[in-house]
Amino acid sequence: MHLFFDKAACQNTRRALQNEWLLTNGLGDYASSSILNCNTRKYHGLLVSSTPHGRMVLLSALEESLQGENREFLFSTRQHPLTMYPNGYEFQELFSLEDWPVFVYRMGKTFIRRELLLERGKTRLLVRWTIDGNGLMPTKLRVKPLLAVRGFHELTSANDAISSNCTPIPGGFAITPYPGQPTLYFQNIDQNGFTEAPDWYRNVEYQNEHERGFPYSEDLFMPGCIDFSVAGRSTVFLSVGTSPLECAPEEIWEREVRFYQERRQQEGRAGLIKHLKRSGEQFIVRDPQGRMAVLAGYHWFDAWGRDTLISLPGLTFSAGRIAQGCEILAEIGKSVRNGLVPNMFSPDGNDAYNSADAALWYAFAVQSFLAADSSDEAYAWVKAHAWTPLLEIVKGFRRGPGFDIYIDQEGLLHAGNATTQLTWMDAQVHGHPVTPRHGCAVELNALWYNTLAFIQELAEKFGESEVNEQAQLKELRKHFIRHFYITTPDGGYLGDVWRDGWLDRSIRPNQIFAVSLPHSPVPEKFQYSIWHTVKENLLTPYGLRTLAPSDLAFQSRYEGGPEQRDASYHQGTVWPWLLGHYTDATVRATWAVEQEMHELLETVSPLFSDHFLQAGLGTFSEVFDAAPPYRPNGCIAQAWSVAECLRMLICARRHAPGVYANFREKTFKKLFHPTDDTVGRGRLVETFG
């Protein structure tokens, strides 16, 4: 997908600073900024590296200028108190993003084209400048690296501890700003093209951090000036990495470009589904320990058990990455302890086992693998790698793994207490849960039922006669309906949490899993009314609300500082990832599947048209406001948002191919034919297939 922002869009700075691009390299490293290449987050940077101690912002930005006729034209941009300086955005003609970002600037008759590329499998940034002076006098391109060298959650201030010593190396210089931190290698620099001139650039501000209620100002270290001689039409490269160059940057660039070209040729014309499959690649990484993992989101999330297992079906099995999915499943299977899967995977191995649902999503991920590949070889893989973890999960839950997780006398799964948050709705303010869900949560019990039924199914397939869950399944189904189902004049729905004889009657999306999972604890006669309640109260153009607007606790906006945002995180805020299971439930619970699929795709059309051109470009945000205009928020690229929206489209194409084809065509028209109200926004320049 080729996104394009013209001069009018770039110079609408308020909107342009809200549009962000992202590059990844398969290692957990990334480069990211706004389309003005002006950082608005402390997480932005041109080289953010995944290290054994967490991700670090190494190279924050570059200050660039073109010199000639005793004049200097700066074409980069930063934010400082009450101003944007330099004012490079005033010269920006366009921004485009396909496989890598491209920025074009015009100064009189001179054009400058800057391109950024991360080398796959290496912590290395390549910058290519193409300068066309239209035959004018020779000029000089001056580049000043601005270093942060800090943890990506932190900010830095000018200090005397930093080392300004730049060691000459072939084609450039190396600098190790702090002991024990990565060395940065700047290469492909002309002899005598680097001049040491250490300095601090102070009070660089990040507006998004300010709006989120976090510290937002820092100082960046500038080790010196890199000068390139350019005349007429020239192309120059700069390599910045944590290891020396092994070949010319031109060779690396050509290799990377050839990879992207060949991939596009193999895939053919891009479509919505193909684009989301490709977009999902950025979350699958090989961590510093050599393990394959799923990053929950960019910029600030790490590898989390729950997010990994919810995302895995869409990112891997639905996307045709079967081997990667199996490798991750096998790795997670090894991590099962007392029936639990880590909620967070730590770089130092001290994983946090504080989630009740992550282990139960493991069963669904295995089911998704078998749905993608039902061969004897696939079942043999499950028997060899997943059967033991599945049994350990069930045994662990029955033994009681801690955190007040246990199976009660009626076979229901109980988890947590008044001070813990063990489900995906885990926000806390001042140490107190915003949405207390201790007790028997509806989705935990739906997942528990699905896990038991799946194990029974596998036991019969594998001839494991000693495994028999039939009696437990019958009892669980009976008590599930008795405790959770609420009869209403319009039919009925499922309450959210059963606790101590009391049922939380809030209308939340968690009930949809009791209909969507492969094995449902809900009798068929109740499934439609549950689905319909969710549709009427929670469905929006960008996902499902986390609470019905009629509820007194409903929050329509996700904004403000950390406490205010956490207080609304699951109190109405819309989550796109819920659309995958909502679509599965639509297929199971409704009779007029094509009609309902048509309504669903019409409803969520803005997610696939308007949102592709805002926030994280070409990807899906973590959350949206619960009321119009449904502003995007949270992470700009969320793994389970991409994965589950991909599953939604694949499900729609499978069960209503004509409806999906019509939806795809309408989305194409919206993206390629801007209307008056989209002037100054981006657009697409490549057709969908």
Which pLDDT band, with edges at 50, 70 and 90, does 382 fall under? very high
Dihedrals phi, psi of 238, to nearest 5 degrees? -130, 130
Query: What CA–CA distance (Å, rounded) separates 249 from 246?
Result: 9
Task: Show the tokens assigned to 624.
Answer: 């949206």
Global pTM value: 0.95
Which pLDDT band, with edges at 50, 70 and 90, does 349 fall under? low
Q: 526: phi > 0 → left, psi -120 to 50 → alpha, else beta; which?
A: alpha
Residues 6+ apart with CB under 8 A from 321: 284, 315
For 212-239, what is each residue's pLDDT tens digit? 999 999 999 999 999 999 887 899 999 9
The pLDDT, as a whole number, for residue 133 is 78
Strands (E), 306-419: 406-407, 413-414
Instruction: Give 213: exposed, middle or buried? Use CB within 10 Å, 0-12, 13-18, 19+.
Output: middle
Q: 447: phi > 0 → left, psi -120 to 50 → alpha, else beta; which?
A: alpha
Q: Is the pLDDT of residue 678 over 60?
A: no
The pLDDT, as a whole number, for residue 669 is 79
Strands (E), 383-519: 406-407, 413-414, 428-429, 432-433, 440-441, 485-488, 491-494, 497-499, 502-504
Q: Is the pLDDT of residue 335 over 90?
A: yes
The average pLDDT across 250-258 equals 96
Asked if residue 626 lies in contact with residue 543, where contact means CB atoms within 8 angstroms, the answer is no
Q: Which amino acid is at 579?
A: L
The pLDDT, as a whole number, for residue 648 is 98
Query: What CA–CA distance (Å, rounded) separates 504 from 499?
Result: 8
Query: What CA–CA distance (Å, rounded) separates 154 from 269?
Result: 42
DSSP code string of 576-603: TTHHHHHHHHHHHH-S-HHHHHHHHHHH
Q: Which domains does the chain have, with CATH numbers?
A: 9-265 (2.70.98.40), 269-376 (no CATH), 403-522 (no CATH), 541-674 (no CATH)
Q: What is the dihedral of CA 240, 246, 247, 251, to 10 degrees?
A: -70
The pLDDT, as a whole number, for residue 676 is 47
Query: What CA–CA distance (Å, rounded) separates 494 from 481?
Result: 8
Which stretches of 12-59 are DSSP H helices? Answer: 13-16
Q: Is the pLDDT of residue 688 over 50?
A: no
For 610-664, what is each residue's pLDDT tens digit? 998 889 999 999 999 999 999 999 999 999 999 999 999 999 999 999 999 999 9
The widest CA-to-CA distance across the chain, in whole angstroms, is 87
The pLDDT, as a whole number, for residue 1 is 74
For 586-615, what is each residue's pLDDT tens digit? 999 999 999 999 999 999 999 998 998 889
Query: What CA–CA distance (Å, rounded) separates 181 from 52?
Result: 11
| Other Cβ atoms within 10 Å of 629 Cβ, number | 10
End-to-end CA distance of the chain: 11
Q: Which of 273, 231, 57, 270 is nearest to 148 (CA)?
A: 57
Which pLDDT band, with edges at 50, 70 and 90, does 268 fall under? confident
The pLDDT, as a whole number, for residue 109 is 85
Beta bridge partners of 45: 32
Query: What CA–CA distance (Å, rounded) separates 358 from 441?
Result: 14
The pLDDT, as a whole number, for residue 53 is 82
Asked if residue 576 lies in contact with residue 646, where contact means CB atoms within 8 angstroms, the answer is no
